[in-house]
Each structure stands twice: as structure tokens, then as C-alpha cells.
Chain A
Amino acid sequence: MSAPTVALLIVAGVVIATIVFGSVAVRRLDMNPEQYIVGGRSFGALFLWVLLAGEIYTSFTFLGAAGWAYGRGAPAFYILCYGAVAYGISYFLAPLIWKVGKDHGLLTAPDFFADRYRSKALGVIVAVVGFVFLIPYVTLQLTGLQILLTIAGYGTVDARLAVGIAFLAVTLFVFASGLRGTAWVSIVKDALVLGAVIFAGIALPIRFFGSPAAVVSRVLDSHPHWFTLAAGAAPYGELWFVTTVILTALGFYMWPQSFGAIYSAKSADALRRNAIFLPFYQLMLLLVYFAGFTALLLVPGLKSSAADQSFMLVIQRYYSPAVLGLIAAAGCLAALVPVTGQLIAAASLITKNVMSDVFGASRSERARTAQTRGIVVLVAALALLFWLFRPPSLVELLLLGYNGVTQFFPGVVFALTTWRASAWGVGGGICAGIATLVALQLSGHPSDFHGVNPGLIALGVNVGICFFVSACARGRRPAEGAATAA
């Protein structure tokens, strides 16, 4: 058999085996919306850990982190930092969100807003914004898949067809098994990715340079400034680093699929323990950096987006097709597993917060599960189309997406504190924040604010508008506020 056949057969075998495993694991479940969308709120600390790790660490985390280590150096460390900071925030925030979800039977992120602020209109705003920013994220996973399959096929096969087939299989899997299926396949994904990352981050440096520390010394010899940030307000400098870590840490749990994962917990305690132990998963990223640094020494000269392929190219060049197939299979699962969680989250936004809440479509549980499943297929088709005709600046779209979902943060925090914002304030703040982001993006100089992350500026506008509008609303209708507070 030729090299591409061996590698691609291994990828196909692993993906199919994983899907079969996930389907068998959930086959006897009776699917109501609560079971389908949030796993029946029954996940303990360990299962939750696997699900969250499965959803958070995507193919883009791995390819992107290696790519940044290869192409930029120290700025890549921000990924290591924001995860750790985000888990600290989630230790306090996630149990509170979970409790509201449990007490009021919430299924989606917009449900949280609609319930806390007693406004279905606000729920619709959050649903639409969340949906708009989620689609590029799904699309990004398809791009990761395309990179992996192209390399596994040694450039001889049409990767787009392969991506289409893989995506179709995953959509059918999501259709059948819901969020619990995502958690089960995450187990396989995490195990394989761990193996792949240990190989790429430890075995690779040892084979070529003796030890990971030797890689650092070699990179320092050729690139003396690779492990430090540029001073102050320079592009990708210290100020950029600090503001980006803060912004992304705040936005970390604001993705619609993160709310689904939080609701799926069995108890608040499971979430707290989860926040304590998730940082250890971050260690994998450290190994990914080493893979990126090794690639920098072995295959230098890749520019911009080609840097994302760097360590896969090393494996393709120096290892057997079987090894390449296994590593690529791990990467493909890292793309496909998060997609399952994202599809469920995106579909539930539409069925629950738009179709059911606004148009009052079917009230029976069975019908709503069926609707969610139907919408899963529609969302998948939409993402596939978006990917085929994608705009050129996809990475910018994702950064915009992160900045976008972070605009939910003030609304979530105000809903959990004693200071009460109004629905108009929160909705207006979200809209103003996103308008600011779009304006900064269109101005063509989104990073021209002395290195400050534009999302943080938008967040400032958001909070300002929220305070202002809430205070105005309070002044107009004091009696109602007093009645609610009593």
C-alpha cells in the first residue's frame, strides 16, 4: 500500500471506531431535550472534566499553539496563561450559573439571560449573537481538519471531499446521541491527543536534539528574542499580552457550548473540583510549544498560516505513514469532538430561544428534541457552506468571535450580584460592545490602541452603556424596582 493510503486508512479507522464507541455508549437513552442538550444534568466531576477538556482543546488549539510558537515565539504563551486564569474565574462563576440553571430548568446560554432579566427579547439577542459567532468557530475546525487530511494524504487526495465525509459522519452522530455522546467520544479524543502530544513534544525533541531543553538553547542561539515579549505597547508586546489574557479569560466560559457544559454538571461541587483540576490539562500545550520550536529548527521558513502545519510537516517528513496517520487521527478527533458540542449548542439556541420562545412552536418534549435534531443538520449544512465559500480572514473572524462572546460577561456577572442591571441595559451594552468591535475592525487598525486588545475597549463601552441605561430605567420606574426587590 502506498503511504497516503496507509495514513488515511488509519485516520478513517480511528474516526469510525470512535463514533461507533460513542453511539454504543448512549444507545439505550430516552432522549428528551434535557437529556439531549445538557446530558440530563448528571455529569460528575470526572466526566465533566473530560467533556470540558474535549470541547475546549480543539484542533486549532494544537495546530494554532504550535503555529504561534513556530511563527511568533513568546506571544504564544498567552494561551497557557488565559486558560489558567479562566479556570480561576470559573471556580466562582460556574457554580452560580449552574445553580440558576438547575433551579429554573435552563438549557441554553440565552435562557440564563431571559430568566435572570425576565426578558425573552434579551434571550433572542443573546441567541442571535451567540449563533453568529459560533458558526465561524465550527468552520475553523473544518479548516483544521482540512490541514490534517491534506498532510495525511501527502497532498495527493482532495481534502475537501474527505472533510465533507468526516463532517457528515459527525453530524449523524450528533443527531443520534446528543451531549452525552460528546462526553463519551471526548474520552477517546483526550487519550489519543495525549499520546500524540507526548510524542510531538518529547519524543521529537529527544530524537533530533537530545532533550526539550536543548531545543530551547538552540532556538535561543538563532532567535535571541524568541522567549521574551516585546516591551510595552509594541505589536504582540507586553501590553497586548496582558490585555489579551484578561479578555480571553473573561470570554472563556461565555461560549454557548460552555453554558451547556456547565448545566450538564451533577452538582456545583463537581464544577468547583473541575476548576481546580482542569489546569493540569494545560500542560499538554507546553508540549505543543516544544513541537513548534522543534519544527522551527527542522523546517524553518514557513510563512503565516503555513506555520500551523509546521510540526505535522516534520512528522510527515521524518516518520512512517503509520505514525503520521495516528497523529493526524488524534488531530482529526480534536477537530470533530468540539464540533459535536458546538453543533448541539448552536441548534439549541435556535430551537429553544427563537422557535420555541418567540414563535411558540410545539410544546411537547418529543417534538422539541426532534426539532433540535433537525436544526443540528441545518446548522451543519450552513457551516459547511460557510467553509466552502469562506471569507479569506477566518482567523480574524475567530478573534472577533472571542471578543464578541466576551460581551456577555457583564450581563452574566450583573445577573449574579446584588446590583441589578435592567434588560435594556444589558441588551444595549451587548449591542454597543459588538458595534464597537465591528467599527474597530472596519477601521482597519484594530490593534492600533497602544497594543490594547480591542475587545477590552468594547467591553468598557459595553459596561458603560449598561450602567447608564440601567440607571435611567431605574430613575423612570422606581416603584417596579422596589416591588421586585421586596
Chain B
Amino acid sequence: MRAAPFRERRFHGGGRSIRCMKALRVALALIPPIMLTFAIPFVNRVEPRLLGLPFLLAWIIVWMLIGPAFYWAIYRLERRA
């Protein structure tokens, strides 16, 4: 038994600007997760401290807070498309 094809594609190739927009959305989507996973070993330190918080914890909090802005931007871009 094979799965039924399932596609919810809004773009079938399309023009160059549409492809650019798609690349932009993929990039926006990937940045926060990468900052909270693969980037962690590079920010694993106490100094410099931000508002008294050790750098590692401050880094995680900052990305947690601005992550939603990235997805909000994607949401707006999708709406416009």
C-alpha cells in the first residue's frame, strides 16, 4: 500500500521573485532553531553578562524572545503571497 499524494504547495516554480521570497522564508525559519541548537557550544560561557545573567542563559532567552518575530515575519510574508 502506498500513501496518497499530499501536496499543499502554493508555489509551482513560478517567477524569480516568488522563489526569492520562498528562500527568504526558509532562511527565516531556520535561523532561530540553529541558534538554539548548533550555536550553543560557541556561546557556552559566563562572560560577558547581560543584565546580570550569564551569557549562555542570556543567549537562550534572547533567541527565545526574538524567535516569534521571525515566525511573525514569515506569517506576514505568507499572507501577502
Binding site for B on A (CB under 8 A): 74, 77, 80-81, 84-85, 87-89, 91-92, 96, 99-100, 116-119, 211-214, 216-217, 220, 227-229, 231, 238, 241-242, 245-246, 249, 272-273, 275-277, 279-280, 282-283, 286, 289, 414-418, 420-423, 480-481, 484-485
Across the interface, A118 reaches (CB within 8 A) one of B4, B32, B65, B67, namely B4
Q: Say yes or no: B61 contacts A423, CB within 8 Å.
A: no
Interface string of B21-42 (1 = CB under 8 A from A): 0000000010011001110110
Closest to A241 in B: B40
Across the interface, A77 reaches (CB within 8 A) one of B60, B65, B72, namely B60
**Interface residue SS majority, chain A:** helix
Interface size in chain B (residues, C-beta < 8 A): 37
Binding site for A on B (CB under 8 A): 1-8, 29, 32-33, 36-38, 40-41, 44-46, 51-54, 56-57, 60-61, 63-65, 67-68, 70-72, 74-75
Closest to A277 in B: B68
Q: Say yes or no: A118 contacts B1, CB within 8 Å.
A: yes
What residues of chain B lie closer than 8 Å to A277, measured between beta carbons?
Answer: 68
The listed residue with most B CB atoms (<10 A of its CB), out of A212, A245, A249, A276, is A276
**Interface residue SS majority, chain B:** helix
What residues of chain B lie closer than 8 Å to A99, measured between beta carbons?
Answer: 8
A81-B36, A220-B54, A238-B44 known; A418-B5 Cβ under 8 A: yes
Q: How far is the CA of A87 from the CA of B36 in the complex (A)?
A: 12
Q: Say yes or no: B5 contacts A279, CB within 8 Å.
A: no
19 residue pairs A–B, Cβ–Cβ below 8 Å:
A74-B56, A77-B57, A88-B32, A88-B70, A91-B29, A118-B4, A212-B52, A227-B46, A228-B45, A228-B54, A229-B41, A229-B56, A238-B44, A272-B71, A279-B68, A280-B68, A282-B64, A289-B57, A423-B1
Q: Which 9 A-B pairs have the closest CB atoms?
A: A213-B52, A227-B54, A238-B41, A81-B36, A484-B2, A85-B33, A84-B64, A118-B1, A276-B71
Q: Say yes or no: A245 contacts B36, CB within 8 Å.
A: yes
**Closest CB-CB distance, B79 to chain A, in whole Å?**
9
**Closest CB-CB distance, A466 to chain B, in whole Å?**
12
What residues of chain B lie closer than 8 Å to A81, measured between beta carbons?
Answer: 36-37, 40, 60, 64
What residues of chain A lie closer than 8 Å to B64, measured between beta carbons?
Answer: 80-81, 84, 279, 282-283
13 further interface pairs, Cβ-Cβ under 8 Å (given A84-B32, A420-B3): A80-B60, A84-B63, A87-B67, A87-B71, A92-B29, A118-B4, A242-B41, A245-B40, A275-B71, A279-B65, A415-B6, A416-B6, A422-B1
